[in-house]
């Protein structure tokens, strides 16, 4: 197997592959627009129950009526996995994937950044960040809330 030499005119092969795009539906369009606007919007049923990922119907009361709530972005690690293999571009490895329990009471899957995977623990407090991982496109990520960091 041959590899391109550094500096070789490899053109497009050196360009970073873009992250997969979400499948936009009538139900989740608000969520993805929120991410681009730097807001974490969670679907809220007319009965008050929050749900994520967004869907057409409340699993509890079966209502089709909903609006959205802007979440604080604060939460804690409910569960996590550190993916090492197989490496799938453009994701960075080890890929730290977390299930975050939001302060508002629903859960969301995302990436956790700015932390050594060995330091991650269930219950770790985290905060949503909107990171421009690609030019002109923001992605929802989480970072640990470190005590003292907000007191600068």
CB of residue 62 to Zn ion, shortest distance in Å: 7
CB of residue 46 to Zn ion, shortest distance in Å: 6
State the residue for tokens 């873009």.
18
Q: Binding pattern to Zn ion, positions 75-114, x when CB under 5 A?
A: ----------------------------------------
- In three-state secondary structure terms, 14 is helix
Which is closer to Zn ion, CB of 60 or CB of 81? Answer: 60
Neighbours of 19 (CB within 10 A): 13
Which is closer to Zn ion, CB of 43 or CB of 127? Answer: 43
CB of residue 32 to Zn ion, shortest distance in Å: 22
Which is closer to Zn ion, CB of 50 or CB of 99? Answer: 50
User: DSSP string of 38-95?
Assistant: T--EEEEETTS-EESS--SS-TTT----EEEEE---EEEEEEEEEE-SS--TTS-SSE
Report DSSP state, residue 8. S
Euclidean distance between CA atoms 109 and 97, whole angstroms:
7
Which is closer to Zn ion, CB of 49 or CB of 113? Answer: 49
Contact 143, 112 (CB under 8 A): yes
Number of residues that bind Zn ion (CB under 5 A): 7
| Residues between 37 and 76 with contacts to Zn ion, criterion CB under 5 A | 45, 47, 49, 58, 60-61, 63
Interacting residue ranges for Zn ion, rule: CB under 5 A: 45, 47, 49, 58, 60-61, 63
């Amino acid at each position: 197997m041959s590899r391109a030499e550094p500096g070789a005119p490899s053109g497009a092969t050196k360009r970073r592959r873009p992250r997969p795009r979400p499948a936009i539906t009538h139900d989740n369009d608000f969520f993805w627009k929120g991410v681009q606007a730097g807001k974490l919007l969670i679907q809220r049923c007319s009965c008050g129950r929050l749900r994520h990922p967004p869907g057409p119907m409340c699993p509890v009361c079966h209502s089709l009526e909903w609006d959205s709530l802007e979440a604080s972005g604060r939460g804690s690690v409910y569960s996590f996995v550190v993916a090492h293999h197989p490496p799938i571009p453009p994701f960075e490895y080890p890929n730290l994937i977390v299930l975050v329990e939001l302060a508002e009471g629903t859960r969301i899957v995302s990436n956790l950044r700015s932390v050594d995977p060995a330091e991650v623990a269930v219950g770790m407090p985290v905060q949503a960040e909107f990171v421009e991982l690609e030019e002109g496109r923001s992605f929802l990520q989480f970072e640990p809330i470190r005590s003292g960091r907000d007191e600068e």
